[in-house]
């Protein structure tokens, strides 16, 4: 079954909503989980539009290196980091500390 853009956006939102507090995931991981392995950019694009949707912890989604590449889209560049730190995620130089340990892979953690 082909994933329409509406479904894709919606699915991205759903997955992001499932990210546990204090954990983070990557655009690529979400994309891969949705079956669009090469659609990491689309996830980012979806997140860009996520501001229209409530309850979207976009701050828990970073790039594959754990870098807070999306911080400039939170109005305040420090907001993303603040939100993460408030959840116990340590940030060092715009990068998630111990990224691998708190990384949440929907394909593995969620498994469905």
Partner DNA sequence: ACCGTGACGAGAT
Partner DNA sequence: CATCTCGCCACGG
- The residue ranges that bind DNA (CB under 7 A) are 5, 8-9, 26-29, 31, 36, 38-45, 47-48, 50-51, 58-59, 61, 63-65, 69-70, 72-74, 80
**Between 74 and 95, CB nearer to DNA:** 74
Contacts 24+ apart (CB under 8 A), 36-42: 36/3, 36/8, 39/8, 42/8, 42/12
User: CA 112, CA 47: separation in Å to the nearest integer?
Assistant: 22
CB 103 → DNA: shortest distance, Å? 11
**Between 5 and 90, CB nearer to DNA:** 5
**Between 8 and 104, CB nearer to DNA:** 8
CB 47 → DNA: shortest distance, Å? 4
User: CA 47, CA 102: separation in Å to the nearest integer?
Assistant: 20
CB 90 → DNA: shortest distance, Å? 18
Cα separation values, 90 from 37, 52, 70, 108, Å:
28, 27, 16, 23
């Amino acid at each position: 079954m082909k994933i329409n853009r509406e479904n894709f956006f919606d699915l991205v939102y759903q997955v992001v909503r499932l990210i546990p507090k204090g954990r983070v995931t990557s655009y690529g991981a979400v994309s891969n989980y949705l079956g669009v392995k090469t659609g990491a950019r689309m996830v980012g694009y979806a997140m860009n539009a996520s501001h229209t949707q409530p309850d979207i912890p976009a701050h828990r989604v970073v790039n594959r290196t754990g870098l807070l590449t999306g911080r400039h889209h939170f109005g305040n560049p420090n907001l993303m980091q603040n939100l993460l730190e408030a959840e116990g995620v340590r940030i060092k130089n715009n990068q998630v500390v111990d990224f691998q340990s708190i990384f949440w892979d929907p394909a593995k953690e969620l498994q469905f």
